[in-house]
Amino acid sequence: MAATQTQQVVEIGYGGNERLMMNMGPQHPSSHGVFRMILTLEGETVVGVDAVIGYLHRCHEKLGESLTYVQYPSIASKTDYVAAMTAELAYVSAVEKIAKVEVPRRAQYLRVIVAELQRIASHCLWLGTWCLDMGGALGGGATVFLYCIREREMVLDRFEELTGARLLYGFHQTGGTRYDVPPGWDKKVRETVDFIERRLDEYESMLEGNTFFRVRTQGVGVISREVAETVGVSGPLIRGSGVGYDVRRAEPYSSYGDFDFVVPVETAGDCYARYRVRMVEFRQSIRIIRQALDGLPEGPISSRPGVKSVAQVRVPKGEGYTRIEGARGEIGCYIVSDGGPKPYRLKWRGASFSNLAVLPYIVPGHKVADVVAIMGSVDPVFGEVDR
Amino acid sequence: MTAADARARIQERFGVDAVADGGLGVTLPRDRWQEFARFAHDELGCRYFNWLSAVDWQDQGLEVLCRLENLDAPLVVAMRTRLPAGQTRCPSLTSLYRGANWMERECYDMFGIVFEGHPDLRRILLSDDWEGYPLRKDYAVDTPLAPYR
């Protein structure tokens, strides 16, 4: 968190040419209480952005060095609390890579199922809050939000049946998963995704037929391919800018190689393109879940016997970086092990951190009202930005 | 550009044998840090800036790591350099990659590494008056907070 240098005080002449500094957040509803943008305005137009982050900083990297490989996965879910399943998966995959732990096939499939369900839940929250932030233009605004939250609840119910928790799961562990599916769960998951799939058509017709929605998103917040790459954005942002980069395809992990799915790419780079990418991802996630449920192999869910003490799991000396495709993009863990029960160094590559870093390059030139639309289209989760 | 081609070119230009481990790991002296990044950007086509961070090796100094990618090839270059013990200066990559701006600020915030040439090197996650660099190994987890000023 950092304040800017002292700014020169400019007398306001109300002529429209003077510059005004305006704080947007941390109390602005679209900034979720944990993000502040210092906007430099010329009239209604933004000419400069200084993003202030760190409100939610807990130093996860230091925490990771102080907790053992058995303890940390459940804490890892707090980095990206909107998509906790994928955050945990990033950590345990990195540990498995260095320790060369084999993961049973059933666990690999379960990981894919929960990761894709999580992507649906996360995208539901994104779509709902984004439309809520854009508010009045969408005929009341809260409608889409309430619909999306209703669907997200269904996914959270499935997670609750699986793990007993609704937000932070502790589902993954080094060597596999901690829980197996309860009886009848797969049938409920199928019903859930069938229901959500039908609802998606409804959202699309509500939004895409709405002129206000199109005007507020098309041509707004364009990220060129060059900017996307040099800043290092990932996930739906880079796919909305014409780069078909998806970790599930580029470097398949778990069992993604077994499934048939499409990586959506849009070339416009604007908010609407990012919206379209995520809408296709919804359906592709559903497709993957169905394939994984159909092919769910029998067998053990973890290759590691239970431990009596949290320090019992040791990882040989070495280092490794593992990445997975979270709902917001590439989530990576770089771990250096010194052979002990805790990592010597843990680096989180948070997708939202890199995605948010693009704001200063795309916001200037837009009106204040567009800032909300652009920020929502980036879909930052501040637990992951600040870690 | 395949990984083997890239490896040969790195060998030829920098005399470093790149370690292939899911990508090309290149260890560089500090004074060739920027030169290598430019080479990776212009000649290996690594335009994607993934992340930059550091590891504190205590008496053996700080190590800066950076991961660059060519998304079309695909090719991953993981470059690293060791700063001599007690030294905290490292050349900045901000002139080549915009993503280096926030990543280097975070690295400065957490490790106290001063990136020379960074346009706006200030703390990013912690407050401006924070004392110490939390990810250094000599920073205890239970370090008391400095009183509010």
Q: How many angstroms separate the CA of residue B4 from the nearest CA in chain A? A: 18
Mean pLDDT, rounded, for A86-97: 90
Residue A14 has pLDDT above 80, yes or no: no
Domain CATH for B17: 3.30.460.80
Mean pLDDT, rounded, for B88-107: 90
What is the per-residue pLDDT for A10? 54
Q: For B93, how many CA atoms within 13 A lie in the half-sphere containing its CB?
A: 35
Q: For the segment A225-244, what is each residue's pLDDT rounded down to a tens digit?
A: 999 999 999 999 999 998 88
Identify from A67, A100, A231 which residue to disrupt to test chain B contact, counting B C-beta atoms within 10 A and taking the largest count: A231
Mean pLDDT, rounded, for A140-148: 78
**Coil, strand or helix at A146:** helix
Mean pLDDT, rounded, for A11-37: 74
Residue A249 has pLDDT above 80, yes or no: yes
Of B53, B99, B125, the CB nearest to A232: B99
Global confidence as pTM: 0.86
Q: Determine whether the interchain pair B55/A344 forms a contact, defined as Cβ–Cβ distance below 8 Å.
A: yes
Q: How many angstroms separate the CA of residue B141 from the nearest CA in chain A? A: 8
> B93: which chain A residues are within 8 Å (Cβ-Cβ)?
none
> What range does the domain containing B81 cover?
3-86
Q: State percent of chain A over pLDDT 70.
A: 94
B54 bridge partner residues: B64
Q: How many angstroms separate the CA of residue B102 from the nearest CA in chain A? A: 7
Q: For the segment B45-70, what is each residue's pLDDT rounded down to a tens digit?
A: 888 999 999 999 988 889 999 999 98
Confidence band of A15 (pLDDT split at 50, 70, 90): low
> B122: which chain A residues are within 8 Å (Cβ-Cβ)?
2
Residue A301 has pLDDT above 90, yes or no: no
What gap in Å lies between CA A205 and CA A185, rounded to an integer?
31
What gap in Å lies between CA A179 and CA B16, rounded to an integer?
47
Q: Determine whether the interchain pair A2/B101 forms a contact, defined as Cβ–Cβ distance below 8 Å.
A: no
Q: By C-alpha distance, which of A208, A263, A204, A202 is closest to A238? A: A263
Q: C-alpha distances in angstroms, B147 versus B129, B130, B144?
A: 10, 10, 9
| Residue entry with tokens 């106290």 | B112
Q: Determine whether the interchain pair A54/B127 forms a contact, defined as Cβ–Cβ distance below 8 Å.
A: yes
Mean of per-residue pLDDT scores for chain A: 86
Tell me if A2 is assigned to some domain: no
Size of interface A-B (CB pairs under 8 A): 90
What gap in Å lies between CA A220 and CA A364, rounded to an integer?
11
Interface check for A62 against chain B (CB to CB < 8 A): the answer is: yes
Q: Which residue of B lies nearest to A54 if distances are taken between CA atoms? A: B125
Residue A286 has pLDDT above 90, yes or no: yes
How far is CA A114 from its chain centroid? 14
Tell me if A25 is assigned to some domain: no
Q: State percent of chain A over pLDDT 90.
A: 24
Interface check for B73 against chain A (CB to CB < 8 A): the answer is: no
What is the per-residue pLDDT for A139? 53
Q: Is the peptide bond before A305 cis (omega within 30 degrees of 0)?
A: no
Residue A120 has pLDDT above 90, yes or no: yes
Number of domains in chain B: 1
What is the per-residue pLDDT for A138? 61
Mean pLDDT, rounded, for A70-93: 89
Q: Determine whether the interchain pair A54/B126 forms a contact, defined as Cβ–Cβ distance below 8 Å.
A: yes
Q: How many angstroms separate the CA of residue A279 from the nearest CA in chain B? A: 24
What is the per-residue pLDDT for B66? 92
Residue A1 has pLDDT above 50, yes or no: no
Q: For B2, how many CA atoms within 13 A lie in the half-sphere containing its CB?
A: 2
Q: For the segment B67-85, what is each residue's pLDDT rounded down to a tens digit?
A: 999 888 888 888 989 888 8
Interface check for B27 against chain A (CB to CB < 8 A): the answer is: no
> B47: which chain A residues are within 8 Å (Cβ-Cβ)?
226, 229-230
What gap in Å lies between CA A264 and CA A282, rounded to an integer?
11
Q: Determine whether the interchain pair A61/B102 forms a contact, defined as Cβ–Cβ distance below 8 Å.
A: no
Residue A17 has pLDDT above 90, yes or no: no
A23 bridge partner residues: A38
Number of domains in chain A: 1
What is the per-residue pLDDT for A116? 92
Of B55, B71, B101, the CB nearest to A345: B55
How far is CA B33 from its chain centroid? 9
Domain CATH for A104: 1.10.645.10
Q: Which helix (H) or strand (E) holds B26?
A: strand B24-28
What gap in Å lies between CA B71 and CA B45, rounded to an integer?
9
Tell me if A41 is assigned to some domain: no
| Residue entry with tokens 């000649």 | B43
Q: For the segment A166-211, what is each residue's pLDDT rounded down to a tens digit?
A: 888 889 988 889 888 999 899 999 999 999 999 898 888 888 888 8
Interface check for A3 against chain B (CB to CB < 8 A): the answer is: yes
Confidence check on the interface: ipTM exceeds 0.90, yes or no = no
Tell me if B148 is assigned to some domain: no
The two structure tokens encoding residue A46: 């933004």
Mean pLDDT, rounded, for B30-58: 89
What gap in Å lies between CA B111 and CA B89, rounded to an integer?
11
Residue A119 has pLDDT above 70, yes or no: yes
| Residue entry with tokens 């490292």 | B90
CA dihedral in degrees (A205, A209, A212, A217; nearest 10)?
A: 70
Identify from B124, B137, B139, B142 which residue to disrupt to test chain A contact, counting A C-beta atoms within 10 A and taking the largest count: B124
> What range does the domain containing A315 cover?
60-353+371-379
